[in-house]
Structure 1
Amino acid sequence: MKHEDEMRRRAGAESIAGGDEAEQLDQDTLIHELRTHQLELEMQNEELQRTELELIEARDRFTDLYDFAPVGYATVSDKGLITQANIMLAEMLGVDRNRLIGQRFSHFIMPQDYDAWYLLIVKLFRLNLRQQTELALKCEDGSICYAQLHCLPVCSAQSNAIRITFADISEYRRIEAEKRQYEEQCRSLFENMLDIYYKTDMDGRIEVVSPSCLAQTGYTQAELLGRRVTEFYIDPAQRDQLLSALLRKGKVNDYELILAHKNKAPRIASATCRLLRDEAGKPVAIEGVLRNITARKQVEEQLRLSETRYRALFEQTSDYVLVMEPRTDAAPVIVDANQAAFEKHGYAADDLIGKPITFIDTNISPEAVAERMRLLQSGDPVYFETKHTCSDGSTFWADAVARYVSIGDSNMIYSVERDATRRKQAEEDQARLLRENRALMRQLMQVQEDERRTLARDLHDELGQLLTGIQTRGEYITMHAIDSEVRIMGEEIVRSTSALFDASHASLLRLRPATLDALGLSAALTELTGERQKQADIVCSMRIDGDIDALDDMRAIAIYRLVQEGLTNAFRHGKADCVNVIIRKLPAHAGRDDQLWIEITDNGKGVHAEADRTPTGMGVIGMRERVHALGGTFMLTHVPEDGVRIEAMLPLDHSEDSGR
């Protein structure tokens, strides 16, 4: 613009000096020059605009490169404050970039790396050279980010600063840590493995061997390295066979070898090895693992012998052996059986194997199966009797013992059974004889009671009348006799007759109490305890719970005799001074019929074996037999210095009597 103004002034001056003609010529020239200069200015303006756009684009590219670079950038002042930071660094630290500016960079350094950072600053400004280091940085969320820092000092007269690039090496550090851990695990495995790792060249010369060689072979690593493996083969031909298999297959698994220990003892080893080839595919080495299987082979041999003995016992025993597999919600399934079991049941193996136990044990209910399984799972042997059905429909009883055996993940039930049909028949015969004996006992007791009732009635009717007549005549003689001797004899007759009355009354009570027939069991027991209390001068207490007067005659007289004998034993043998009698009627409960409970306790010295019978009573044995004859239970407990407790439980259901 300055040049244009100058041209105009010069043109004006020339026009004034040169006249009109010159003025016109100069004006045209000036206009041409102005237009030319305008074009130049426009071109310069366009160039400036293009340059400005390039600068803006360059600035944008730099900004994008700075903000979105895969590494973090920051400028830290000599005061340790962050003056600039890109987006990547903010994301790396988990902090908004606006909050990042102005903070101390040391705020983000883990305490263990403080010294490394301060030493780096000193070196940067002292040497004024680029430096690098690795730091552990603290992120906003508390996590740790590992970064590699490249630092460049920027020094000027006004200030000093550090430009830093941050490369996130957290993943690298993690991989390195995992690599070190893996290497440590491999080293620990190599040093502590029980099997022997080895590597040899193709000639069999040992190049690498694990420390476990000492425990397995008796040789140290130093003693083995460089030696040929053929030195340790019992049969060197095995080495050639192994090498041939390797060359043919490239790898072998569980190849059995017999090697010599340092003490010359043979060892059985299992070799798993492979060929190592170079880039051209040529075999260059052999590596593998040797496992000492001497103990395993010995155990296998023992197991083979044990299995042979087991199979011999399994097949030759006369007992019936069933092997079953338990099921969760069903009966166990038969998976094996010995020949005796097949023959006894009349089934072929294909007909019996795979069937549930209920196929032959047809009388067992699902509830019984579940209960038996519950008992078996305790691990203890379970003894039971079972009834099996054969193929022809016949049945037999068996005594069985079963055990639940767990081996690894396998569970089996082993049941050994023996024919118990004869024993069951003998038990049934014994039970039948017992029922018949008890029925006979009840009949004998009934006959005895009938005879006692008849005898008591005859004594009461006939002897009573005679004694009454004698007593009446004796009283008459006493009242009308003049002679003193005759009067004394009459008085003696009256006294003797009274004594006979008392004796006959006691005999009548022992034979058949009239009160039992006239007033019932409760009144008869009350009379009995009252008479015993008077005769023996002891305390007799009795408690009756429930109505017992409606009992049948057999049970009523049994209870009476039981209490009678208990009182006699307490008085005569126990020398007791206190007896308690409790009779309680128990209602039906849980499928059980009504029952009568009798308890007789005393504080005497007890009843001994030599005195369990009396001349006139049944004794303890008689009491027990009378209770058992009625289907009840009897128990006598003798405690020295505490007396005797007699307990009896009688069923009140009459079905047993009618059935026997």
Structure 2
Amino acid sequence: MYRKDFWKKDTLEKLRKKAEGLLLEKTYQIEHSESLEMQTLFHELQIYQLELEMQNEELSSIAQELETQKDRFSDLFELAPVGYLVLDSRAVIEEVNVTGSKQFGVRKAALLGKPLTSYLHADDLQQFYFFFRRLQSSGSEQEEQVRFKKANNETLYAQVNGKVITKGKFAFSCYLTITDITEKKKAQLEHEKAKRRLEVALDASQTGIWELAVPGGQVYVDELSCSLFGIKPQEFDGSYNTLLNLIDKDDRANVDATLRSSMINGKDFTAEFFVNQPSGIRKYVAARGQMIDLQELGSRFIGTIIDISDKKQIEQETQQLKENQQYMITAASLLAEENERKRISDTLHDSVGQMLYAIKLNLQQLKQMSSSPYYEQAVKMLDQTVKDVRNISFQLAPSILDDFGVVAAIEDMAKRLSGPQLSIVTKFGSTKNLDATLSLNIFRIVQELVNNGIKHGKATCICIELFKKGSQINLKVTDNGEGFTLPNPGTTPTGAGLSSIRNRLNLYKGTMEIHSAPGTGTTVAITIKQ
């Protein structure tokens, strides 16, 4: 109070001095007959009048300034981007700005005098109660996130900040700001839902999460990923090399190279590999990842890892089943083919051959009855036909193969085909314990390769080598024919004959290598494991 009175007295003295200065500037015509006392009184009245005029001007200026400040404050209060509320000690709304009324979807007049708790979400009443108690007891600014019910029954998610202003010993007002965080909260809720769905999906699919910091090489793996690698989360040192060493040595270099290439080129990472757990368990896993820039954390590879051991086993079993089915189909097809050949061979031998012998006997009878000059010519033609029939019968189903084995059959074939224009040389090693089916397939392969050398290569010399070493059978057929250019290095030429050879080799998982060039002949090397 003392400071206020001093300011008032000082102001009045300044105004008095200013009034006296103004009075000196004015000229008054006072009659000489007036007394000194009247002059003094008139002088004082003039000073008082000027003081009142100046005080009135000063008050008008102050009132105008206050009105300007009030308008500014009103605009700031009403047009603020957040809601402003003033509550009494019972949380009744004493004042609210336009933004606050819009947030609730209620007219400003309808909000005044209403308790704020009537707009609170039922589940947040207790939370707001403790917040309001903290405001009253602490005397400092407090904040809380609560939900309000809008007039259209929609939910307003709000960040509430408040502070208490004391007005008396027992009276106070609570000033609140309400910031609408509905969109942010909804985004958070959607993110949390998506995160929960992802966690459920990952858990259901037994999928682990891994993360690799590109600068530094530090690795994070979740609990499921640790279980796939057979390590405990608390024991993992976060080293990339630690995980890399758990990958099977046959897959390790490829996985490392693929991951480094993905990091350098910024491409997605995909790999399937075996993991050797410290306990000795072997898992087959699939890992995928992609580069993500997390700004303050830098570039990182984030991905998934899943155990596909069962899938791999099913694939292997399915592949084995397909191979077995293909083996059975091929074997049945070749068996049917051999049966048909044997049937035709038997028909030629038993029917056509006997018929030719009968014709020859009849011709001999006719020779005694007639001395036709065409007799010798007919006999020669008949002998050649018998020879051709025998050769065809042999080619179709060599009986010597069943009686004496594959070596005798190949030697007999070489003898039959050799002549003045073709020489077939055979070299044999040990060929013991070859079963009948394998012997037949080896003979058919040799037969096909010799026919190719004669027909396509126009060879004059063919060398056949066959020997067995342990469980491996090696067959090599070399000719000095015209040769040919291979389509591409490492590829096998196509053709009906070669296709038939491959089908037979597939029964034993055999391999075939062809080496040829124009003018250098052809060499075919075949390996079969019994």
Superposition TM-score tier, normalisation by shorter sequence:
0.3 to 0.5
Q: Which has the higher contact order (CA 8 A, sep 6+)?
A: 2
TM-score by length of 1: 0.39
Is the radius of gyration larger for structure 1 or structure 2? 1
TM-score by length of 2: 0.47
